[in-house]
Amino acid sequence: MIEYNTPPKSVNPGDSTPVKDLKNNLTSGFLGLAGACATVVAAPVWASDDRPSILVITVDALRADRLGCYGYDRETSPNIDRLVNNGLLFERSWTPEPLTGPAMCSMVTGLPPHRHAASRNGLRMKSGLDSMPKILARHGWRTGAFVGTWTLKNNLTLLGEHFETYGERLKRRRWFGILNSEATCEDVTDDALDWLENSRRDSPEEPFFLWVHYIEPHAPYRFHEKYSERLGINDDKLRRTDRYDTEIAAVDESIGRLLAGVRESVHAANLIIVFTADHGESLGEHDYWGHGRYLYEPSLRIPLGITWESEIRPRKIATQANLLDLAPTLLDLAGVEVPEDLPGKNWAPTARGGVPVPESLRCFQAHKGAVHGGTHDSDTKRSKGLLWVGVIEGDDKEVLQVNRQYYQLFNLADDPGELENLAPGDSSASDELLACLAEVAEGLGSFDRLAAEKLDDETVEQLRALGYLE
């Protein structure tokens, strides 16, 4: 069994009850009053049948190349590294869209943004969609989610409709000067472990599907001095990227505590763990800081690992993967029939020892960051917010700025920094890219009739503070 760094768990006497809880009445007891995560052994180990429990961990705005498992020379992620190096580690994986709301809605439903309708932060998914947690719940899994960012609130996404428990305890102000906008990684971990404790006491025979989303290291990056020495950071010459790295170290510590608590509850042989991110982060490349505006690799590329100690042998996969792949893969690994209309690849046969699935064309999209208050029709229409589309096949990547018809072609093997546009000035997009554009535009257009919720003033200010409104 893997061992993780697990510092003592601090007691948080504050309210730990999630906003939405359909099955459980979570309290701040159990773990919160225990003093250390190791105390979760007080309850019996989860005794479910052969169906595996599933833990999905997502980290906001996390670049793959700032993790040790992807070759980074700073020790930002010891717990994450130990986890993903023990299973399938995907060396080339992307998000379908570099915005939190659309990306996470895609992960949960297995559908790209132009099919679930939540193409921008502040636009909800179409109601009544099926999803990975809904399917698992119908087959006897308990489902819970705990999110640390305001952009994933149920009233903005409808993600809460897909889980029995949807925890969004956003009681703390981190950096934006706005109350009730985020939860720290410590608080999110506390709530997830509380739910796990209550669930296994109530129904230890039922497997679970648990999704945990951490806001760190989303901008603006907070400096965590306690990691300076380990990371080789000179506090007197602090850079923005240094602060970003300490954020990763902080969330890695919380992930270590989460993993230790879960592993005390569930036999490793019966536990699937996924680690990934909603999108990456541009750290000055192409004169841009942040994510969402472009389809360059820093904000599009994400880490992805799938671990199941009893079933998956450690190996690295060079074939390109995508967040859309998680739904068919996890459903298959769980022994549940996979819906035929899911576009993602099923990596379950590969996980069981088979060969990687063949390379194929992948389509991406980028949209305006958010809806501005729902005041203008052009702002609420899905089709009006499309900025970029792109396709990747092998090492060739094409992107098209929709309004300007600005076309770029890169070879990622020869030019990983995307500095040399291989397309002549008079060249046009490929048939594959134009087909992707047509599909995305048609899908978005079908949702234009969906009214956007009028955003209140506080919500608008939160979006602006997060950098999604200009």
For the chain, report the end-to-end CA distance as a whole number of angstroms: 48
Residue 287's SS3 state is: helix
Per-residue burial over 66-93, b if 16 or more Cβ lie within 10 Å, else e, is: bbbbbebebebbbbbbbbbebbbbbbbb
Identity of the amino acid at 456 = D
Residue (of 458, 410, 365, 406) closest to 122 by Cα position: 458
CB 98 within 8 A of CB 365: no
What pLDDT digit, counting tens, does each position of 434-467 carry? 999 999 999 988 887 655 555 566 666 666 665 5
When pLDDT is cut at 50, 70 and 90, the band that residue 15 belongs to is very low
What pLDDT digit, counting tens, does each position of 288-344 carry? 887 877 899 999 999 999 999 989 999 999 999 999 999 999 999 999 999 999 999
- Residue 63's pLDDT is 94
Strands (E), 332-405: 362-367, 386-393, 396-401
Residue (of 2, 3, 5, 1) closest to 256 by Cα position: 5
What pLDDT digit, counting tens, does each position of 197-239 carry? 998 888 878 899 999 999 888 877 888 888 888 988 887 788 8
What pLDDT digit, counting tens, does each position of 24-56 carry? 333 333 223 233 333 333 334 554 568 999 999
Instruction: Report the distance separating Cα 111 and Cα 76, nearest Å.
Output: 32
Give the CA angle between residues 458, 462, 465 to the nearest 5°.
135
Is the model more confident about 183 or about 320? 320
| Residue whose pair of structure tokens reads 């990975």 in the numeric block | 132
- Please name each of the domains of the chain with its CATH number: 20-39+49-351 (3.40.720.10), 362-465 (3.30.1120)
Strands (E), 285-350: 289-290, 304-307, 315-317, 321-322
Instruction: Report the distance separating Cα 119 and Cα 382, nearest Å.
Output: 7
Angle between helix 100-109 and helix 326-333 axes, rounded to 10 deg: 30
What pLDDT digit, counting tens, does each position of 404-443 carry? 888 999 999 999 999 999 998 778 889 999 999 999 999 9
Largest CA distance in the chain: 69
Neighbours of 172 (CB within 10 A): 15
| Residue whose pair of structure tokens reads 């648990």 in the numeric block | 210
Beta carbons within 8 Å of 267's beta carbon, 6+ residues apart: 45, 46
Instruction: Report the distance separating Cα 149 and Cα 168, nearest Å.
Output: 8
